[in-house]
Amino acid sequence: MVNLPLPTWGDERDMIVADLFDINRKISAAAQALCGPKDPPEITLQQLRVLELICRNPAMSLHQLSERLQVSNPTASGIVDRLVEKQMVTRADDSKDRRVRRIVPTPAGQEQLARLGSVFGEMLTKVISRIGIDDLKVIRNSFQVILNAIDEAQDADE
């Protein structure tokens, strides 16, 4: 696994962020060990991210996708091309505008996304009964804080 340099804030936050990244790596390794080895995904992480966006927003245009990813149209198109080659998505004509092509997930793409998502679900099923209610509430609240911060960052970018 590649260790990317972490940003620094010059305060206690630096140590906490480093701990969070370390804990995340340990959780990933432990979850894989607990749930057993899985077949390697047929797609890269970036392709997975795009596939997830397309599955959540079926029939997006390439322009919409590139805006969501904050990449150029050619970059988004290249990722979509590779997903089309792997039969995870298709391009379809827009019934209202012939210049627009819509990106639609295939059943194989939806299955791939579900299969990868099930690893996390399997791990949670095995460990959730071992976590006390108070700790589960802390975890839930922590995730909500992260989600709120993401929403605020997205609003600031718009």
Per-residue pLDDT tens digits for 12-44: 888 887 888 788 778 777 777 777 655 556 788
Tell me the pTM. Answer: 0.57
CATH number, domain with residue 98 = 1.10.10.10
- Indicate if the pLDDT at residue 81 is higher than 90: yes
Helices (H), 57-106: 62-69, 73-85
CA of residue 58 relative to chain centroid, distance: 16
Q: Using CA atoms, how far apart are residues 126 and 79, in angstroms rounded to an integer?
A: 35
146 occurs within a structural domain:
no
With respect to residue 35, please indicate whether it lies within any of the assigned structural domains. no
> Is 74 within a domain?
yes
Domain that holds residue 74: 45-109
Whether residue 67 is contained in a domain is answered as: yes
The reply to whether 58 falls in a domain is yes
Q: Is residue 8 part of a domain?
A: no
Largest CA distance in the chain: 56
Extended strands (E) in the chain: 60-61, 89-93, 101-105
Q: Is residue 118 part of a domain?
A: no
CA 114 – CA 129 distance, rounded (Å): 23
Identify the band that residue 1 occupies on the pLDDT scale cut at 50, 70 and 90. Answer: very low
Between residues 121 and 89, which one has the greater pLDDT?
Answer: 89
Q: How many domains does the chain have?
A: 1
Q: What percent of the chain has pLDDT over 90?
A: 30
| Residue 90 included in any domain | yes
